[in-house]
Amino acid sequence: MKDAKKLNDMRHSWAHVLAQAVRKFYPKAKLGIGPTIEDGFYYDFDNVDLSENDLAKIEKEMRIIAKKNLNIKKEIWPIKKTKEYFKEKNANYKLELIESLIKNDRIKEAGIVFTGKGTEDEFIDLCRGGHIKNTKELNTDAFKLMRVAGAYWRGDEKNPMLTRIYGVAFETKKELEKYLWQQEEAKKRDHRILGTKLKLFTFADEVGPGLPLWLPNGTVIREELETYAKKIETQWGYRRVATPHIAKETLYKMSGHIPYYADDMYPPMKLDDGNYYLKAMNCPHTHMIYKSEPRSYKDLPLRLAEYGTVYRYELSGVLAGLLRVRGFTQNDAHIYCREDQAEEEFLTVMKLHEFWYKKVFRIKDFYMRLSLPSKDSSKYANTPNGWSKSVKIIRSAMKKSGLPYTEVTGEAAFYGPKVDFQIKSVIGREESASTNQLDFLATERFNLDYTDKNGNKKPIYVIHRSPLGSHERFIAFLIEHFAGAFPVWLSPAQVWVLPISDSFKKYGEEIIKKLKENDLRAELRDEAESLGKKIRNGQIQKIPYLLIVGEKEKKASSVSVRHREKGDVGTMKVNKFIEKVLKEIADKK
C-alpha cells in the first residue's frame, strides 16, 4: 500500500474490530488502548481469561464483523458527556485516559469512534483516529492475530497487568503470506542458534555476559571482513592508525563523554596517576593523533581509519547475542576536513555505504535516518550556530546522494546530528548498520585546527563514519540475512574434499594441497562414514562446494563438484575448479 496513512488507518480500524470481537466473547472485558505498531496493531484488555488457543475464534468473529460493511464514524464529544458515558460503562481505563489528556493537553473535547452506529452491531470506543470509512475496506484475508502477552497498563509495573493481543494486517494476502514466511524464517535464522550450530562464537560466564568469544570459524569471517575493508578504505583514500583500549579520565572530560556519556561507560580504574577508563569511543584517541603535529590546508581532508575495540556498559537484561554486547570492534574512521570540504566528504561516505550494501552484500532494502536534537537542550552541546551549519551540510549531502532517507527528532549525538544507515535482511529484520556524524564540537573541545593558505588558524570539521558498524552486530545481521550460507569469500570453510573410500584419500590430499596453495580454505573429510552422510554434514555446515573423488575422478585428474544450492554440477578439472572459485571470491559473489 503506497499510502502509509491509509495503511495505518486500516490497522487502527482492525484494532477496534478486535476489541469488538473480544467483547462478543467477554462482555465484561475492560478496554485499555489499541494503537498501531509496525506491521499491525494490538489491544489491551482487563477482566478476560484467554490464551492463544482462543485467537482462532476471535479471528473468525473479526472477519464476520468486517464483512458486515459497518460504517466507522468519529464524533467529538464534550469532556463532560464523554466522562459520563464511560463512567456509566464502568470503563475505568478510558476514564483514566481522559483525565490524563485533560491534565497534559488541557482538552475540552474527546474523539469518540462509532463502528456500525445505529445498528445492532454498534460499538463505541475512545480514540483520536484515524480510521477507514467502512469495514468493507478491510481485507479479511490479509490479517492475522499473532500472540497473547501480558502488559502493564501504560507501561508502569505499578499498574495492573493486562492481556494484550497482537495482530498484523496488510493490504493483500500475498503481503501477509510474505510476513508469515519471514517470521518462520526468522526462527530458523536466529544468529544465536546458527552461531552455535556453525561454531562461530560462544559466551562464557567466567568471561562475562555480553563479551563474545570468537571461535575459529567466526574469526575467519571477522578477518575476511576486516581485510577487505582495509583494502577498500586504502583505495578510497584512508590511512590506518591504532589506539589503546584505555585512557585517562582527562581525555574523556575533554571529549565530553564525561558527563554526557558516563552512564554507558565502565567504572574508572583508580591508578597511581589518576583514573583510567575502558575506551567507549575511538574518536577522542584519534583526535589526539590529529593534534600530534601541525596541520595545513594542504593536508586536508585527512582520513584516519581504525578497527578499534570499545567497551560499553549495557544492562544485562538488554544483551542479545551479538546484536547487543558490552565489547565490540568497530569499522571506524574519522575524517578531518575544512568546512568547504565537509559536504563532499559526507557525500562520499554515503557512497561508500552504498558500495558495501548494494555491490558487496546485495542488500536492496536500506535507507538513511537523520537524527536531530530534541527540545531538551541540556542533552546537547549549546552551540546553535554549529548545529544549524551541520544540519544544513548533512541535508544537502543526503539529497545529492539520491539514497532514501527520513528525519527523526531526539536521537542526535550530544556533539552533533547523525545519520544512521538502516538495513533490512531478506526476512524483514531491520538493524542500524552504522552511524555517521558531523562533529563541530571536537574542534572546540580538542582545539583542532589547521593553517589556511594565508597563515591563519581555522577550525576543523570532523566526520565520524563506520559503514560496517561493529563486527558483532554486522555479522549477526549477515548470519540471519544469509541463513548461515555465507558467500564463498566469507565462508569459514569454502571447500570440502570427500574421498568415496580410503583408497582415494591420497588423491584427496593432493587436491587439498593445490587448493591451499591458492589460499582456499579447504578440508579433507576422510571420516569412516558413508559418502551420503558426509554430504549431509556438508549441507548442515553450509559448505559452498563439496568435491567428491573416486576412481573416475582420479584417472581424469578431476573432481565431481556439488554446489551448495545447485546440487551436482558435474565433473571438472581441478585447475578449472580453482580458477572458477577464485574468480567468484574476487568478484565477491
Give me the catalytic one of 257, 279, 312, 554. 312
Give me the catalytic one of 334, 429, 525, 562. 334
Q: How far apart are CA 69 and CA 63, in angstroms?
A: 11
Q: Give CA angle at 573 (571, 578), nearest 5°.
A: 110
* DSSP H helical ranges for 198-329: 216-235, 249-255, 257-260, 283-290
What does each C-alpha distance from 76 to 12, 100, 101, 130 come to in angstroms? 18, 17, 14, 13
Binding site, residues? 283, 334, 464
Give me the catalytic one of 20, 125, 127, 283. 283
- Grid cell of 548 as nine digits: 567428491
String of DSSP letters for 68-109:
T--BEEEEEEEHHHHHHHHHHTT-HHHHHHHHHHHHHH--SE
Give me the catalytic one of 20, 330, 437, 541. 330
272 is catalytic: no
* DSSP H helical ranges for 370-486: 384-401, 442-445, 471-481
CB 336 within 8 A of CB 301: yes
Q: How far apart are CA 540 and CA 561, in angstroms?
A: 17
**Which residues have a Cβ under 8 Å from the Cβ of 101 and sit 6 or more positions away?**
107, 110
332 is catalytic: yes
Nearest to 214 by CA among 196, 200, 193, 194: 200
Nearest to 223 by CA among 585, 513, 494, 491: 491
Three-class DSSP category at 186: helix
* Diameter of the chain measured on Cα atoms: 94
182 is catalytic: no
299 is catalytic: no
Give me the catalytic one of 464, 542, 554, 562. 464
312 is catalytic: yes
330 is catalytic: yes
Give me the catalytic one of 222, 418, 429, 471. 418
Q: How far apart are CA 144 and CA 168, in angstroms?
A: 5
Binding site for Zn(2+), residues? 283, 334, 464
Strand ranges (E), 297-401: 302-311, 327-337, 366-372
464 is catalytic: yes
CB 494 within 8 A of CB 538: no
- The gap between the terminal CA atoms of the chain, to the nearest Å, is 33
Give me the catalytic one of 9, 39, 44, 332. 332
Cross-strand pairs, 76? 111
- Please tell me whether the peptide bond between 386 and the residue prior to it is cis, using omega within 30 degrees of 0: no
Q: How far apart are CA 314 and CA 434, in angstroms?
A: 18
List the catalytic residues. 283, 312, 330, 332, 334, 418, 464
